[in-house]
Structures are given as structure tokens and as C-alpha cells.
Structure 1
Amino acid sequence: MDFNGTAAVVTGAASGLGAATARALAAQGAKVAIFDLQAEKGEALAAEIGGVFCEVNVTQDDSVDAGFAKARAAHGQERILVNCAGVGNAMKTASRSKEDGSIKHFSLQAFDWVIQINLVGTFRCIAKSTAGMLTLDPLANGERGAIVNTASVAAEDGQIGQAAYSASKGGVVGMTLPIARDLSGEGIRVNTILPGIFETPLMLGAPQNVKDALAASVPFPKRLGDPQEYASLALEMLRNPYFNGEDVRLDGAIRMGLR
């Protein structure tokens, strides 16, 4: 797909992997809409890349509908969707306090919060975006659009306390092929990236010794991933017309341990 002049939507684009992808798409001439709840950062990035910011909560139909309406009013119907919006938490399924022996379990509200954003939110944006893509005429190669989702290596190597996060990201991986098959007759491709440990805002607040230990756990290269490396793979998935229905780890060959 030729990015120049093509409308794109990136969710979770105000920072981290989404911001790197929005910048990379804009650098190739795409017209980028930034979906996020961080208005100040989102507006600043939109001004930087000549895009449009849409304050969107991916867990709410009305908010997502309004975001797509604003993006399409500015740039036209998108042919590109990159889903980077996501959250995480950590809690054992059930655990015993070392202090007093009391027992607690993973809050179902906390579990559902992660599922609603990471999994249902991703599907919500896919469903609404591809319904719009179906209104477009196909390009010369028969393609109408392309989607990249963000899962995590935790989808396959979930650690202690990651039940909700791993379930949400495993769901993203699990729905990639069926959605690609659903949309294959309409010329819309779907792929998913499973990032390892990346230098995102979540990691920036971690102590240096923690980041050093995480970097040392990566076989090669022994460092945290650069968001631009994620963006590079996302653009290749969007660009290459034979890339479809795939889930690809981007992790320096790491396999996550117990904790």
C-alpha cells in the first residue's frame, strides 16, 4: 500500500508505540488521525505531524464513533488502522498475605477493565473501521485496507500476575486469523505484532536497575526495544500486500520467565 495521501487511524497514538507509528506514517505522507485520551499530548503530536487529534475512549461505542467521524471529516475514509491502545495490571489470581495470612483474589472489575480496553476495544475499532473500508473502491491490487494490532509476548509467555493482561493479548492473537479470513473477500488485511519489552512511557518511570535487568534478559540485542522498531514492522505489515493473518513476535528472542 502506498502511504502517500492515504488516511490512517492510530489508537493509543499520543505516546509510546502508537506515537512512533503515527510519526512514521506521517513521514511517508499518510494523513494520520490520533485516537487517545491524553488530549495535551495528542494535540501536540497532531500539530507536529500535521494530523488530527480525536479524544477517544475505545471502551465506548459513542466515543469511537465520534472519533471516526472527526477523522473522516478531516482526512476521508481511512484505509489504515493501527491499534496500539492498551493497559496492563498485575495481580495473582488468588493469593495469601504474608503478613496475616488473609486471602484475596484478583478483582473481577480490574480483570474486566483490561479485557475491555485491550481486547474488546481493539475489536470495536476494527469492526467500525472495516465497515467504513468496505465503502471504498479497491486499489489496483484489489486491496481496500490494512490493519495492524498490538498484542504482547505475554500472550504466549504470561508471567505471574498477568492473567488479565495475557488473556487480553492472547485474545488479540486468537482473533487475528479469523478476522483476516472474514475480510479476505473484501481485500482487507489484518496482522498483529507481539512486542517484547519496549522503552515506552510505562518503562520510563522504572528505576534504572530494573530497566538494566530487563535489558540483560533479552538474548540479543541486550536492550529494550525502540518504539521506532515497532513502527518499522507495522509499516512493513501495512505496505506488503502478501502479509496477512500473521502474528509476529518482536522481542529480541526473549522468552519471559516465571516472573
Structure 2
Amino acid sequence: MSERLAGRVAVITGAGSGIGLATARRLAAEGAKVVAVDTNEETGKKIAAECGGIFVKADVTSEADVANMYKVAFDTYGRIDIAFNNAGISPPDDDSILITGIDAWERVLRVNTTSVF
């Protein structure tokens, strides 16, 4: 792999699975320092260790968690070059919109849309 991202710092939300996990692995392989962010501590710590980075447990719907996520990244690495706002969810059990309650739907919107604001 190339080192074209050597020295760059990447904060990746939703790094514990799917696209976030694949992105963390790829950016680390390209030389980036990865800040793996997820709500699942066990998975997040595992991917951070695999990528040679750090883990921050954060719920992207919490302003305090997001502020802490960036604080930890800055305190650890002194900079952020890449912010991959990837965290996302679907309704519980992938329920049909016809049976998804308003609270569940509002949580989906907070994670998938509002959190990147």
C-alpha cells in the first residue's frame, strides 16, 4: 500500500462496522492515523487497535460526545485532516415505515441527518 495519507489524521464515525470499518482499514493502510468513533466500545477498540489508532466512544446525536470526540483527536494528534461522518442507522429491525414509531424515526433522523450538521 502507498503511504499517501502518512501523517494525516482521520476521524471516522460509525467505524465499528460496514462502510466505516472498511474506510478505517483503508485509510490506515494508506498511512492515516485513525480515530475510530462508535457507540460499541468492544468493536471500536478492536478496530482502533487493528488500525494502529485510537478509539472514542461517542453517540453522534450528543453534542457533548461529538465535542469530546474532536477534543480527544486534537489532544492526541494535534490536528484533524479528514472527517468521515459515516454513522448511520435504520429503523429498529428494519421495520417498515408503516409500523415505525415517531420516536424511532426521530432517532434515525438525528443519527443520519442532524449529526453531520
TM interval, shorter chain, is: 0.7 to 0.9
**1:92 is matched with which residue?**
97
Q: Matched residue of 1:77: which SS?
A: coil
Deviation at 1:106, TM superposition (A): 4.2
1:117 aligns with 2:111: yes
Question: Runs of at least 4 residues of structure 1 off by over 6 A?
Answer: none
Aligned pairs for 1:195-234 within 5 A: none
1-side partners of 2:75 and 2:16: how far apart? Answer: 20
2-side partners of 1:22 and 1:120: how far apart? Answer: 22
Aligned pairs for 1:82-231 within 5 A: 82-89=84-91, 90-93=95-98, 106-123=100-117
> Could you tell me which of 60, 66, 86 is aligned with 2:68?
66
2-side partners of 1:28 and 1:51: how far apart? Answer: 13
**2:54 is matched with which residue?**
52
2-side partners of 1:17 and 1:73: how far apart? Answer: 26
Aligned pairs for 1:15-30 within 5 A: 15-30=17-32
2-side partners of 1:74 and 1:14: how far apart? Answer: 20
2-side partners of 1:80 and 1:37: how far apart? Answer: 20
Percentage identity across paired residues of the two chains? 38
Radius of gyration: which is bigger? 1
**1:202 is matched with which residue?**
none
Deviation at 1:76, TM superposition (A): 2.0
1-side partners of 2:97 and 2:58: how far apart? Answer: 30
**1:38 is matched with which residue?**
40
2-side partners of 1:75 and 1:14: how far apart? Answer: 21
2-side partners of 1:106 and 1:28: how far apart? Answer: 40
Deviation at 1:60, TM superposition (A): 0.5
Deviation at 1:122, TM superposition (A): 2.1
1-side partners of 2:64 and 2:39: how far apart? Answer: 14
1-side partners of 2:49 and 2:100: how far apart? Answer: 41
Aligned length: 111
Q: Which amino acid aligns with 1:52?
A: I
2-side partners of 1:8 and 1:51: how far apart? Answer: 9
Deviation at 1:115, TM superposition (A): 0.2
TM-score computed with the length of structure 1 as normaliser: 0.41
1-side partners of 2:104 and 2:25: how far apart? Answer: 32
2-side partners of 1:116 and 1:70: how far apart? Answer: 23
Q: Which amino acid aligns with 2:112?
A: N
TM-score computed with the length of structure 2 as normaliser: 0.88
Task: Go from structure 1 to structure 2 and tell me whether the alpha carbon gap of 1:92 and 1:29 turns closer, same or farther (over 3 Å shift).
Answer: closer
**1:12 is matched with which residue?**
14
Q: Matched residue of 1:87: which SS?
A: coil
Q: Matched residue of 1:88: which SS?
A: coil
